């Protein structure tokens, strides 16, 4: 019988989920100034499922993702990706940032944006080969954007840009996908295309974590929720953790009780 490394070195093995979770966060605090944006948060993402991160504006949702990716430094806490420190696992994570945070003033073709997803494989000086173009082109196809391959990214609608960024993430061939509000301000066709791709990833055994603002679609789209308002409010399956009580705690007075009852009532 083989003993895993972790089970031999005690402490880590006793924490449930730390070894097997695609993303396990412990005691994470992040601060931009004096007041923490994320405070003492634990999160254990379930493998092969779709999880929504939910909370009001300014709750720390984007900060949580950025800290998980090492984009912003934590004050304290740690992050493990598939049971190992982030630095060893970067190639296994794909990230689609909030669209508003990406500025495409300089001319770049859609196909080249998708190819950026392959840079890890290409290396800085690697030659782009036919197979790479084929991968990028297949990824554009998966998001329904093949016909736009040679357009300038800046000329596309917001929804179309969002699909291209998802195609870039797909090109990475990651095991864990982190998306920040992919459905914000997109057209209905894009929303349908994106959720279709995410569900297909899940069917392939990939893990998907989405910062999500639309409470009405949570039941349709997700297996699990993670409710946050600087601190963790609730975490678990939609049935267990997406309830009028947890929503009320996360949003405080910012959602009407009637609205919460309607959204969180089991179908």
Torsion angle of alpha carbons 244, 266, 228, 254, nearest 10°?
Answer: -40
Q: Which helix (H) or strand (E) holds 239?
A: helix 238-241
Q: Least distance from C-beta 99 to Mg ion, angstroms?
A: 11
The region of 60-68, 168-176, 190-198, 235-243 touching ligand ADP under the rule CB under 6 A is 60-68
55 binds, among ligand ADP, Mg ion, none (CB under 5 to 8 A by kind): ligand ADP
Say if CB 206 and CB 151 are below 8 A apart. no
Query: Which residues, numbered 5-34, are part of the site for ligand ADP (CB under 6 A)?
Result: 32
**CB of 65: closest distance to Mg ion in angstroms?**
8
Beta strands 84-85 and 76-81 are antiparallel
Q: Which is nearer to Mg ion, 45 or 149 (CB)?
A: 45
Q: Cα separation of 175 and 156, whole Å?
A: 28
Among 3, 57, 103, 204, binds ligand ADP (CB under 6 A): 57
CB of 179 to ligand ADP, least distance (A): 13
Strands, E, within the chain: which ranges? 24-31, 36-44, 50-54, 76-81, 84-85, 93-96, 176-180, 207-211, 224-229, 231-237
Does residue 58 belong to the site contacting ligand ADP (CB under 6 A)?
yes
- Check binding of 168 to ligand ADP (CB under 6 A): no
For ligand ADP, the closer CB: 5 or 71: 71
Site for ligand ADP, residues 37 to 56, rule: CB under 6 A? 37, 55
Measured from the CB atom, is 60 or 144 closer to ligand ADP? 60
Partner touching 161 among ligand ADP, Mg ion, none, CB below 5 to 8 Å by kind = none
**Are 38 and 25 a contacting pair, CB within 8 Å?**
no
Q: How many Cα neighbours within 13 Å face the side chain of 9?
A: 4
- DSSP bridge pairs for 236: 225
Site of tokens 């994320």: 38
CA distance 18 to 39: 19
Among 21, 44, 51, 62, binds Mg ion (CB under 5 A): 62
Partner in contact with 63, chosen from ligand ADP, Mg ion, none, beta carbon below 5 to 8 Å by kind:
ligand ADP
CB under 5 to 8 A by kind: which of Mg ion, ligand ADP, none does 158 bind?
Answer: none
Binding status of residue 59 toward ligand ADP by CB under 6 A? yes
Residue 75: alpha-carbon gap to chain centroid: 22
Positions touching ligand ADP (CB under 6 A) are 32, 37, 55, 57-63
Positions touching Mg ion (CB under 5 A) are 61-62
């Amino acid at each position: 019988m083989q003993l895993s490394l972790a089970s031999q070195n005690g402490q880590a093995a006793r924490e449930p989920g730390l070894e097997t979770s695609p993303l396990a966060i412990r005691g994470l605090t992040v601060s931009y100034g004096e007041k923490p944006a994320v405070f003492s948060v634990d999160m254990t993402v379930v493998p092969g499922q779709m999880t929504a991160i939910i909370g009001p504006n300014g709750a720390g949702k984007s900060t949580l993702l950025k800290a998980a990716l090492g984009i912003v430094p934590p004050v304290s806490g740690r992050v493990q990706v598939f049971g190992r420190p982030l630095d060893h696992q970067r190639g296994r994570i794909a990230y689609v940032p909030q669209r508003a945070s990406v500025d495409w003033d300089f001319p770049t073709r859609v196909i080249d944006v998708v190819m950026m997803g392959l840079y890890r494989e290409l290396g800085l000086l690697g030659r782009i080969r036919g197979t790479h173009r084929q991968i990028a082109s297949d990824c554009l196809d998966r998001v329904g954007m093949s016909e736009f391959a040679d357009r300038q990214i800046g000329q596309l609608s917001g929804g179309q840009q969002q699909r291209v960024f998802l195609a870039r993430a797909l090109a990475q061939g990651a095991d864990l996908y982190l998306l920040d509000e992919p459905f914000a301000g997109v057209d209905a066709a894009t929303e349908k295309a994106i959720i279709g791709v995410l569900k297909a990833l899940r069917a392939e055994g990939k893990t998907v974590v989405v910062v999500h603002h639309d409470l009405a679609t949570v039941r349709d789209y997700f297996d699990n929720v993670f409710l946050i308002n600087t601190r963790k409010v609730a975490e678990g399956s939609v049935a267990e953790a997406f309830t009028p009580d947890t929503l009320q705690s996360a949003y405080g007075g910012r959602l009407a009780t009637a609205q919460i009852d309607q959204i969180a009532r089991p179908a």
